[in-house]
Structure 1
Amino acid sequence: MKTTIIALTIDPRTDRAPEVQTVLTKHGCIIKTRVGLHEVQENSCSERGLILLHINSDSDEVQQLENELKDIEGIKIKCMTL
């Protein structure tokens, strides 16, 4: 098993978040940690979100997750394997 960190941005966040959530739920068993971030101000909430995932799985499962996320419009992904 390898440890992989995936960072993905979602823009526009409110439009794409349901699709992203569906993919993350499907692959939930390989996600050890998930952190979601977005800018919040007094009168507004940012449309650009950032999610960090800590994955502990073989590379085939990680690649499948990446491919499904990349199929969603407005998603950008960067990965690091440790």
Structure 2
Amino acid sequence: MENVIMAITIDPRSIHAPEVQTILTKHGCIIKTRVGLHEVSENSCSEQGLIILHIQSNLDEIKNLENELTGIEGVKVKYMTL
């Protein structure tokens, strides 16, 4: 079992977030913690999103998650094993 911190960027967030959410739900059993961030002001909501995940799983499943996410245009993934 590996402990991984994964950072996911989504741009444009409003278009691709639903598909990202579907993939994260599919892999929900390996996600220990999820934090979603995007810039918000009184007059606007940023199109750039950032999701930070703490994942506990084997590297094959982590790679599957990464591959599904990077298959979406506008989504980038980076992770590190702890």
Same amino acid, percent of matched pairs: 72
Map Cα deviations across residues 3-57 of structure 1 (whole Å, 9 max, x no partner). 0010010000000000000000000000000000000011000000000000000
* Residue 74 of structure 2 is aligned to residue 74 of structure 1: yes
Over aligned residue pairs, what C-alpha RMSD do you find? Answer: 0.4
Q: TM-score, normalised by structure 2?
A: 0.98
Within a 5 Å distance, the mapping from 1:1-82 to structure 2 comes to 1-82=1-82
Q: In structure 1, what is the Cα distance between the partners aligned to 2:36 and 2:11? A: 13
What CA distance in whole angstroms lies between the structure 2 residues aligned with 1:28 and 1:3?
15
Compute the displacement of 1:62 (Å): 0.3
Please list every run of at least 4 consecutive aligned residues from structure 1 whose deviation after the TM superposition is greater than 4 angstroms. Answer: none
Between the two proteins, the alignment pairs up a number of residues equal to 82
TM, length-normalised to structure 1: 0.98
Q: Is the partner of 1:73 in helix, strand or coil? A: coil
The residue matched to 2:50 in structure 1 has which SS?
strand
Distance in 2 between the 1:60 and 1:8 partners?
A: 18
